[in-house]
A and B are shown apart, each in its own frame.
Chain A
Amino acid sequence: MWDVKNNIEETIGNTPQSNIVLEAIHITKYFHDPIKVQVLNKVDFSLTRGEFVSIIGKSGCGKSTLLYILSTMDTDFEGDLKIDGVSMRKKREAELAQVRNEKIGFVFQFHYLLNEFSVLRNVMLPGEKLGKFSAKEIEHKAYEKLKILGIEKEALKKPNQLSGGEKQRVAIARALINEPLIIMGDEPTGNLDRKNGDMVFDIFKELAEVYHQSLLIVTHDNEFASKTHRIIEMEDGKIING
């Protein structure tokens, strides 16, 4: 029964028009240090285009670990991961970097902006790496993204001149620059106060509903999660709900 469904999903997944952008198949992960501990146990789930999904669970349930596996940064796992219908299992480091650059945008708890560069340049960096557009076009796009987030006036400032909420919005603009398939967030509101946290949530919601952007956000903020389209609840390395 499951196999049939899986096969159907696979065939659909291989076509570019498919609505499934990310698919986790039987993902199992162990930590080896200091002793072998299973953190993820055969996790299966998929994410469709335009979906705004949050992953919740208690600390240590494996939600962040799952996110980093889904982000292709952690390659030490069992099972398979498909992004845009393509398996990430056999890819080399440089190819995975390419996938992250093109198809995934990140927002972390900490903004990770580079203080050496201006806000604008920080947003432009992933676009420059992608190399699809000229510097002029990337700059134009970066301004557009900053405008969506309402911080285009700060474009030429250095990140350390901005407030925490503004920094996080710049980080979101950076995640958007290459028009990724999925935006992944690891506690993106964790460091923000209520007001800024709400603002970030509203931005995410707008991205999902107006721009049909897929979002996958790990959070422990149940109020934040309750407002998303779908909640995946995890416990002891398994999805128990969603």
Chain B
Amino acid sequence: MARWKQTLVAAIGVTFSITMFIALLSFMAGLNDLLDGLVVNRTPHVRLYNEIKAAENQPISIFSKNKNQYNFIGSIKPSSQLPQIHNSAAIIQALKKDKRVLGIAPKIIAQVFYNVGTTNLTGIINGIEVEEEDRLFVFQSYVVEGNYLDLKTISNSIILGKGAADNMLVNVGDRIQVTTTKGDQIQLKIVGFFQSGISDLDKVQSYTSITTAQKLLGESNNYVTDIQIKLTDILQAPKIAKEFEKLFEVEAIDIQTANSQFETGSFVRTLISYAVGIVLLIVAGFGIYNILNMMIFEKMDTIAILKATGFSGKDVKRVFISIALTIGIFGGVLGLLFGFGLSAAIDQVPFKTASLPTIKTYPINYNPVFYFIGGVFSIITTFMAGYFPARKASKVDPVIIIRGK
């Protein structure tokens, strides 16, 4: 067809918008994955724990069960007990048999003080089962110095948060002294540093093996404060959390409740990128609409003679819609390729930040769904842009054109 330049410009419009659509969504999704990963990768889908709180049924209410009286009790305190999960071994056994559970990692959370000279820094020691923790929560990717497996093989070893280590001016291989809440003191050897990307966390958190933690607290080897569960389907977490809460008589929190703000953030970011992408496509659609409209005015004679020689309105409509779709498909396919190229280019741009030690370049998510949506939308918008001019062309009256000459 004539008007090659304008047709090309229309196709470039589609290409550009699809390119931007793909690049924008890939980048946004990559960023979302990264930010979610900061939390989601390290957060159990369901966490079982015990909260220290006052008993719901105070002894007096048992005593006064059948008596017609009200009890007013002031200053109720919880009894002195550790935040231990009772019967943890049995719970773990039961969970291992559950098919919805991908894996479990028991954990001990202990409050400690890191002794630095005469001052004490507060800290939290996580006693973990090293291999399970790594399998479920990619522990090793956050260990920036040292070997995470040393935690298991070297007794009384610790992987210290990077922030805490900087504050304490210690290096891998040094020994530090910690004091438990009970007052016991113990020497631990630093085998590595840990950096999560959330600096507040890195200033207090550190990791030991679960046996070291039990030793630290002077507890037996079935002492566990948390059971972290990873599920096969993350969306089931709220339901399963409720079920476990009843079944095991413990507190259970699911990832959605614990981190709802992340989901909101991701959702809004995705929404914005889709909106921008679709607006770009609609603008490209208007370009195609304009060009086809002009083309119809130029091609009045052609339309008239086609109709005179036996082409029906439908045939004429089909010709114009197919021009629009050709522009759309040609522009769209190029756009998908360029979009992939641009995403790959962004993927190569160095991106270093202290808070994200594992990230070297800008994150990109190559989700095929984006390409699918981009492709479908380019076809839909160009079809719409072609449909109205095509309908107009199909209604051209050949008599008026031919007699007008």
Q: Mark B304-328, 1 if CB is under 8 A from A, else 0.
A: 1111111111110000000000000
B2 at the A/B interface (Cβ < 8 Å)?
A: yes
Contact A98 B302 (CB under 8 A): no
Chain B: which residue is nearest A106 at the CB level? B308
Cβ–Cβ < 8 Å partners of A129 in chain B: 309-311, 315
- Is A186 in contact with B402, judged by CB distance below 8 angstroms? yes
Instruction: Please determine whether A110 and B309 come into contact, CB atoms closer than 8 angstroms.
Output: no
Tell me whether A102 and B399 are in contact (CB under 8 A).
no
Whether A112 touches B311, Cβ cut-off 8 Å, given contacts A64-B403, A73-B399, A186-B402, is no
A71 at the interface (CB under 8 A from B): yes
Chain A residues, Cβ within 8 Å of B310: 97-102, 126, 129-130, 178
Residue contact B309 to A108, C-beta cutoff 8 Å: no
- For B313, the chain A residues whose CB sits under 8 A away are 93-94, 97
CB of B403 within 8 A of CB of A125, answer no
Give, as a whole number of angstroms, the nearest-CB distance from A188 to chain B.
13
Q: Does A114 contact B (CB under 8 A)?
A: yes
- Is A144 an interface residue when CB atoms closer than 8 A count as contact? no
Minimum distance in angstroms from A100 CB to a CB of chain B: 4
Contact-residue size bin, chain A (C-beta under 8 Å from the other chain): 20 to 34
B311 near A108: Cβ-Cβ < 8 Å:
no
Q: Across the interface, which residues of A come within 8 angstroms of B315, CB to CB?
A: 97, 129
Is A226's CB within 8 Å of the partner chain B? Answer: no
Which residues on B sit within 8 Å (CB–CB) of A178? 310
The residue on B at minimum CB distance from A100 is: B310
Closest chain A CB from B174 CB (angstroms): 82
Interface contact B312-A94, CB-CB below 8 Å: yes
A184 to B: closest C-beta gap in Å = 10
* Interface 1/0 per residue, B1-29 and A, CB below 8 Å: 11000000000000000000000000000
**Contact between chains at A73 and B309 (CB < 8 Å):** no
Bound CA span A125–B309, Å: 9
- Complex formed: what's the CA distance from A98 to B16 in Å? 42
Which of A123-157 touch B at CB < 8 Å?
A: 125-126, 129-130
Contacts A73-B398, A74-B399 given; does A109 touch B309 at CB 8 Å: no
Chain A at the B interface: SS class: helix
Once A97-B310, A129-B311 are accepted as A-B contacts, the answer to whether A110 and B405 lie under 8 Å apart by CB is yes
A45 close to chain B: CB less than 8 A: no
In the complex, whether A116 has a CB less than 8 A from a CB of chain B is: yes
Query: Does B301 count as interface, using CB distance less than 8 angstroms?
Result: yes
Chain A residue numbers with a CB within 8 Å of B405 are 108-110
Let me know if A174 is at the binding interface, CB within 8 A. yes
Complex Cα spacing A178 to B304, Å: 19
The answer to whether A93 touches B399 (Cβ under 8 A) is no
Write the chain B residue with the least CB distance to A190.
B405
Task: Give, as a whole number of angstroms, the nearest-CB distance from B325 to chain A.
Answer: 19
| Contact between B301 and A112, CB atoms less than 8 A apart | yes
Question: In the bound complex, what is the Cα–Cα distance between A184 and B313 (angstroms)?
Answer: 21
Other-chain residue from A97, A108, A114 in contact with B307 (beta carbon distance below 8 A): A97
Residue of B nearest to A103 (CB): B310
Question: What per-residue 1/0 map shows which CB atoms of B264-306 lie under 8 Å from chain A?
Answer: 0000000000000000000000000000000000000110111
Q: Which chain A residues (28-73) contact chain B, with CB distance < 8 Å?
A: 64, 68, 71, 73
Other A-B contacts than A73-B399, A186-B402, 6 sampled, CB-CB below 8 A, are A68-B402, A73-B308, A97-B311, A98-B312, A125-B306, A129-B309
29 A–B pairs (Cβ distance < 8 Å), ordered by A: A68-B402, A73-B397, A73-B398, A93-B312, A94-B313, A97-B307, A97-B311, A97-B313, A97-B315, A98-B310, A100-B309, A101-B309, A101-B310, A101-B311, A108-B308, A108-B402, A108-B405, A109-B405, A110-B301, A112-B302, A112-B305, A114-B305, A116-B1, A116-B2, A125-B306, A126-B309, A129-B315, A130-B310, A178-B310
Which residues of A pack against B, CB within 8 Å?
64, 68, 71, 73-74, 93-94, 97-102, 106, 108-110, 112, 114, 116, 125-126, 129-130, 174, 178, 186
